[in-house]
Amino acid sequence: MTLKDEMTGDKKLVYGKYGKFECTAYLERPFETTTRLVGMTLEFTDITGRKYQDGCMTTKLRKKTNFFDWVAKKCPEFVSDTMRYTTEISFVVTEHFVGSLEYQCVLHTEHKSAETGEWISSAERQSPSQIVVGKKGPQVNMSPALIRGVQGENRVVKCTADKGYPQGIVMIDIDTHESTEDAVVTKMMSPGEATVTIKLSATLNNKRLMCFDSVHPEVVAHSVPIEVTFMKAIRERIRVINVVQDSRINCANNIVSNGILQYAWNGSIISTSQSQMSRVDIPYSTLTAGGTQQISCTVKIVGDPLDNHLEFVYVLNYIEPVAGSSGQQRSGLLDFTNTSVVFSMAAAGIFVLLLILMVGGYLAMRNKMTKIRNQHS
């Protein structure tokens, strides 16, 4: 079998843009039944000596080398009666492509062992190499590479135009060019430079801060991720609870947070062993008959340099046990860790009240109809 490989594509690669190459293999006759084509790839070695390979490959081949970024490719059907195979690969030009580098197409085949019948990798067939120059065009850079902190902290971010155009306007923005009140700065310089101070908040968590040249859209934009450790209250800060038996209160259900939280309870009825837990048990026996007790829970993020905290206050009203029952001896805990418990109790009471009204109405109507019949008889 004779083979001719050919590589065509871009003669120059520009950093941040898309590059495209096409690898074609011409056969004088189809593959024999003991040989098969398993991959066609584009390969190069960057200036550090690191080898990159991508294209149409089997799983076995993909374990061998590094791959291009954001690749789109068109792969042929590797069938035995085909005389021409073409692979087209498009990719984003990253810093690995910068410089005068040699590129070549590689054909990967396997042959069947006459002894075992297994398919074995054959020697790679490589096309003549081509030298393609990769250049860095105008771009913007940002520092720091990651914006991380606790809500309320300030972070200074700098955006600088490198090899930019004269009088370029560099802008810093949250996400894809969407302006936000506390995160946009515009400056005109040559080269352009912008600095912004942002106050970290829960709404900025998992967003990206973007730097771009608003005058020259061909300049590659740059962005950095934002990671904010936060906590916020999702329930009222003061609650009144009527206590009729042993109860449990969970402070963690008042908060949404992605950090590690620290709790501190205050109140004369809070035991020392529970003072730093997220929830506390309130024995009915600790409440004074007819009286009111107040307890509070303070929450803060562990390691928060600003010492931000949230406080939740609970006003506990002692409710006398129903006649014939022993209030504090009731078994189990009434769990106030979720307001659905309170809502369920209220809903049950309303349902019973409606049922009583319906039954009473029915009986009153029946008595009235009976009197009417008696008058006409």
pTM attached to this predicted model: 0.53
* pLDDT tens for each residue of 162-216: 665 555 556 666 653 344 444 444 443 445 677 888 889 998 899 888 887 777 7
What's the confidence (pLDDT) of residue 180? 46
Nearest to 86, CA basis, from 17, 44, 143, 23: 23
To which residue do tokens 């008595």 refer? Answer: 367
**Domains observed in the chain:** 3-135 (2.60.40.10), 139-229 (2.60.40.10), 233-341 (2.60.40.10)
DSSP string, 137-191: -SEEEEESS-EEEETT-EEEEEEEEES--TT-EEEEEETTTB--TTS-EEEE-SS
Q: How many CB atoms lie within 10 A of CB 168?
A: 20
Name the stretches of the chain with pLDDT < 70.
1-5, 30-31, 59-65, 80-81, 162-192, 322-353, 359, 366, 368-377
What are the distances in angstroms from CA 319 to CA 46, 168, 287? 78, 72, 9
Q: What is the pLDDT of residue 337?
A: 53
Cα–Cα distances (Å) from 149 to 2, 141, 195, 227, 228, in that order, read 62, 21, 18, 7, 5
Strands (E), 28-175: 35-45, 51-56, 72-74, 84-92, 99-112, 119-121, 125-126, 130-135, 139-143, 147-150, 154-162, 169-174
Quote the percentage of the chain above a pLDDT of 70: 74
Distance separating the N- and C-terminal Cα atoms of the chain: 117
Q: What is the pLDDT of residue 121?
A: 81
Type of residue at 223: S
- For residue 186, what pLDDT is reported? 43
Tokens of 21: 């190459």
Task: Please say whether the beta carbons of 202 and 125 come within 8 A.
Answer: no
Within a 10 A sphere around the Cβ of 355, how many other Cβ atoms? 10
228 touches 257 (CB < 8 A):
no
- Residues 122, 35: Cα–Cα separation, whole Å: 9
* Three-class DSSP category at 247: strand
Runs of H (alpha helix) within the chain: 59-62, 339-376
Q: Report how many helices (DSSP H) and strands (DSSP E) the chain contains, helices first.
A: 2, 28
- Concatenated DSSP letters of 262-278: EEEEESTT--GGGTTSS
Q: What pLDDT digit, counting tens, does each position of 148-162 carry?
A: 999 999 998 888 876
- Number of other residues whose CB lies within 10 A of the CB of residue 353: 10
Res 353: pLDDT: 67
Q: Which amino acid, 319?
A: I
Contact 301/279 with Cβ under 8 angstroms? Answer: no
